[in-house]
Amino acid sequence: MNLNDTLFRLKALGVKVTPQRQEILEVLLGEERYYSAEEILKKVQARYPAVSFDTVYRTLNLFKKLGLVVELNFQGGYRRYEFNHADRHHHHLVCLKCGRSQKLACCPTDCLAGIEEENPEFAITGHSFEIYGYCKDCRGQVK
Amino acid sequence: MNLNDTLFRLKALGVKVTPQRQEILEVLLGEERYYSAEEILKKVQARYPAVSFDTVYRTLNLFKKLGLVVELNFQGGYRRYEFNHADRHHHHLVCLKCGRSQKLACCPTDCLAGIEEENPEFAITGHSFEIYGYCKDCRGQVK
DNA sequence: TCCTAGATCAGATTTATTCCGATTTAGGTA
DNA sequence: TACCTAAATCGGAATAAATCTGATCTAGGA
Ligand SMILES: [Mn+2]
Ligand SMILES: [Mn+2]
Ligand SMILES: [Zn+2]
Ligand SMILES: [Zn+2]
């Protein structure tokens, strides 16, 4: 999924393609990692200084609804966003000290299948699976 | 783990046992589910009307540090707390509409074992695994 | 080129959590 | 049992994240 595909998809959905939305997408697509709302704002403001937090949040929530973006609520209350490379579903190993994370290959599909089967009346829309701890750099300096 | 065991453990750790702390524990131990900070405050105030949010949050953070309480950060940013029945590790099926949840029996231990093995330099302290969607009552009325 | 629904901006508002200074108290000591 | 003090609590102020509001602007269709 690149920028042009995504913009095409937005148009197909009848969603207006504004410079702000386009720039937010470019940020999210630029480096494959997650961002805080503030990081996104700062990066977008490098090109469009007048962009407001409101626009960032509205856009992220829109993209979330359209399935373009995933919102991650990490332990400690950190909220992060990343582009939803639909074909690259994954989870995270998150350092509680420095906040850096790495992608994980494993997804608990067997658990999920069992849960789905045992709860047919529940409409599952997603799941989270994150592993927390302290990375090599941080494990020594934990308070 | 009952109230007396827990109070004993607090004393052993050199932590003061105040009526407020005791009441918060009673709330958490009363019904095996999770609570918002505000729910806890309201319940504690039923007996001690002067208790403040500050005390609730400080106590929850203390208990969290001591491993007595688990903080859950659900999708959407909802933060909840539950007593850490250490022998009853579990995960949740959470309704995004009404917020109710049910415990799940499955825990992705095989994933976890693999991740631990593949990342020996990372000190894992915990993990989250939550399944989101819409419960029977809510699946019809999703906006 | 014009029109308008929808998007943006700037700042106010709301809500969750933490901080702060004054006061109280749990639990140790004599 | 009567102090003593470090730690805990209270009440309200401060902070921070996210949303709302109303005025203005604009993307994209006619
Ligand atoms: Mn990721
Ligand atoms: Mn639970
Ligand atoms: Zn780290
Ligand atoms: Zn529900």
Domain count, chain B: 2
Clarify whether residues B7 and B35 are in a common domain.
yes
Query: Would you call B98 an interface residue with chain A, using a CB distance cutoff of 8 Å?
Result: no
Clarify whether residues A67 and A136 are in a common domain.
no
pLDDT tens readout for residues A60-74: 999 999 999 999 998
pLDDT confidence of residue A142:
53
Query: Would you call A12 an interface residue with chain B, using a CB distance cutoff of 8 Å?
Result: no
Q: Could you tell me the CA-to-CA distances from A3 to A28, A29, A72, A83 in Å, in that order?
A: 10, 7, 22, 11
Query: Taking CB atoms and an 8 Å limit, are A134 and B122 in contact across chains?
Result: yes
For chain B, helix (H) and strand (E) counts, in that order, are: 5, 5
Q: What average pLDDT score do residues A117-137 get?
A: 92
Q: Decide which of B87, B103, B119 is a domain's last residue.
A: B87
Clarify whether residues A74 and A48 are in a common domain.
yes
The CA B119 to ligand 1 mean position distance, Å, reads: 17
Instruction: Please state the three-class secondary structure of chain A as a single string.
Output: CCHHHHHHHHHHCCCCCCHHHHHHHHHHHHCCCCECHHHHHHHHHHHCCCCCHHHHHHHHHHHHHCCCEEEEECCCCCEEEEECCHHHCCEEEEECCCCCEEEECCCCHHHHHHHHHHCCCCEEEEEEEEEEEECCCCHHHCC
Q: What average pLDDT score do residues A69-82 get?
A: 90
Q: Decide which of A87, A105, A127 is a domain's last residue.
A: A87
Query: Taking CB atoms and an 8 Å limit, are B129 and A125 in contact across chains?
Result: no
Q: Which amino acid is at A9?
A: R
Clarify whether residues B70 and B130 are in a common domain.
no
**Mutation site for B-interface testing, chosen from A78, A117, A131, A141 by largest number of B Cβ within 10 Å:** A131
Query: Would you call A129 an interface residue with chain B, using a CB distance cutoff of 8 Å?
Result: yes
Residue B143 confidence (pLDDT) above 60: no
pLDDT confidence of residue A141:
66
Clarify whether residues B7 and B71 are in a common domain.
yes
Clarify whether residues B3 and B48 are in a common domain.
yes
Residue A21 — very low, low, confident or very high, per pLDDT cuts 50/70/90? very high
Q: Are B93 and A122 in contact (CB under 8 A)?
A: yes
Query: Taking CB atoms and an 8 Å limit, are A77 and B79 in contact across chains?
Result: yes
Clarify whether residues A67 and A37 are in a common domain.
yes
Query: Closest nt to A19 (CA→C1')?
Result: D27
pLDDT confidence of residue B59:
98
Q: Decide which of A46, A63, A87 is a domain's last residue.
A: A87
Which CATH number characterizes residue B1's domain? 1.10.10.10
What is chain B's mean pLDDT, rounded?
91
Clarify whether residues B75 and B104 are in a common domain.
no
pLDDT tens readout for residues B87-110: 788 999 988 777 778 889 899 999
Q: Which residues face A130 on adjacent strands?
A: A92, B128
Which CATH number characterizes residue B112's domain? 3.30.1490.190
* In chain B, % of residues over pLDDT 70: 97
Q: Would you say the C-beta of A31 is within 7 Å of strand D?
A: no
Provide the residue range defining the domain that includes B54.
1-87
Clarify whether residues B10 and B53 are in a common domain.
yes
The encoded tokens of residue A94 equal 């998150």
Measured distance CA(B61)–CA(B45) in Å, rounded = 19
Residue A104 confidence (pLDDT) above 50: yes
pLDDT confidence of residue A137:
85
Clarify whether residues B36 and B96 are in a common domain.
no
- Which has the higher per-residue pLDDT, A108 or B86? A108
pLDDT confidence of residue B76:
81
Residue B141 — very low, low, confident or very high, per pLDDT cuts 50/70/90? low
Clarify whether residues B142 and B104 are in a common domain.
yes
Output DSSP code: residue B35: B
Q: pTM here?
A: 0.85
Clarify whether residues A101 and A41 are in a common domain.
no
pLDDT confidence of residue A47:
96
